[in-house]
Amino acid sequence: MLLRYPAYFEDFRCIAAACPDSCCKEWEVLVDDAAAAAYRKLEGPLGDDLRRHLYRDEEGDWYLRIVDGRCPMWRADGLCRIQAHLGHDALCQTCRDFPRLTHDYGSFVERGLELSCPEAARIIFENPDAPWVEREVSGGDEPDYDPVDMQILLEAREVMLTILADATRPVQESLALALLYGYQAQSALDGGESSWDPSAAMAFARGLAKPYGGSELAAFYMDLEILTDAWRHRLELPAGAGQWDTRLRTLARYGVQRYWLQAISDFDLVGRVKMIVAACLLVRHLGGDLVETAQLYAKEIENNDDNVDAILEGAYSSPALTDEKLLGMLLR
């Protein structure tokens, strides 16, 4: 089986107390059954604390309850009590993995880092052109999808990444082309014709674009689930768009690497491309430090399946996410 990951993947180290945010804040941690069983029979004060804060939801999943906005196992020095007392292997799967992502496609696996971790975000934005490492590992399963569809997605993803990396165009044009290429790739995936002419696509995009500000887009995100007051405040009082920042290419390429192949499960490429382009536009509209804004976006949106689903649905139904308006924010 082939394993693929960006070269920086293995360099990630949690910066714990130096982290400007923390994965131990705000999120309730999903505790896998094996870890929950071990915690529930652990003796001593740590076991007592774990039993006090562990709870099971109506679906039977175990969680550690948030206390004063943080995981109750968090120490003032930024370290975790479980890790400090019992070692890394005693952490639950969620905490052992974060911010490492694994996408298992049966015959191959892709790994990456999550933007919602500030240290991972720093690494991602500082290494926009990091090569991908490929190596054979044991394991793998027979894919439950048609390999022809996956091949179409893989080839189309390369085209999309090239469009987004093309620095001969302004970043806003690259994003506009990316949006239209999403329809081309969708057509190919659906078994239709696909012919990509960037010049014709750019002319079409300019004709479609309608003048449009960012407040309606921000209002769309206000209607999603909001985790932190910081995010609500950013949506209510954006710092302003400013110049186009070429790091939006990196944000979009990260989104493509993370979400594109997931269309193998539902055949929805257009929704994912609109989600990626809208993320770039929102991050620009909110302003501030781009890396910090993108990290906050990821924490609020990417780690909440309900929010991701709402955007994928909104891509087809929300007046805030029409092609005319997204292109308008890019080109007008």
Residue 258 CB, nearest approach to ligand SF4 (Å): 17
Residue 85 CB, nearest approach to ligand SF4 (Å): 18
Strand ranges, E, within the chain: 2-6, 29-31, 54-56, 62-64, 100-104, 108-113, 132-136
Write down how long the chain is: 332
- Nearer Cβ to ligand SF4, position 23 or 252? 23
Binding residue for ligand SF4, selected from 9, 23, 171, 214, defined by CB under 6 A: 23
- Nearer Cβ to ligand SF4, position 83 or 250? 83
Residue 24 CB, nearest approach to ligand SF4 (Å): 6
- Nearer Cβ to ligand SF4, position 21 or 110? 21
- 14 lies in the binding site for ligand SF4 (CB under 6 A): yes
**SS3 state at 80:** strand
- Nearer Cβ to ligand SF4, position 111 or 169? 111
The Cα angle at residue 320 between residues 317 and 321, in degrees rounded to 5: 65
Residue 224 CB, nearest approach to ligand SF4 (Å): 21
Burial of 244 (0-12, 13-18, 19+ CB in 10 A): middle
**SS3 state at 83:** helix
Burial of 19 (0-12, 13-18, 19+ CB in 10 A): middle
- 214 lies in the binding site for ligand SF4 (CB under 6 A): no
Q: Hey, which residues between 79 and 138 contact ligand SF4 (CB under 6 A)?
A: 98-99, 117-119
Helix, strand, coil share (%) of the chain residues, nearest 5 = 55, 10, 35
- 19 lies in the binding site for ligand SF4 (CB under 6 A): yes
Residue 119 CB, nearest approach to ligand SF4 (Å): 4
The label of the residue with tokens 């793998």 reads 140
Binding residue for ligand SF4, selected from 16, 38, 54, 165, defined by CB under 6 A: 16
- Nearer Cβ to ligand SF4, position 6 or 99? 99
- Nearer Cβ to ligand SF4, position 14 or 185? 14
Q: DSSP readout, 34-56?
A: HHHHHHHT--HHHHHHHHHHEEE
- 54 lies in the binding site for ligand SF4 (CB under 6 A): no
Where on the chain is the footprint of ligand SF4 (CB under 6 A)?
Answer: 14-16, 19, 21-23, 98-99, 117-119
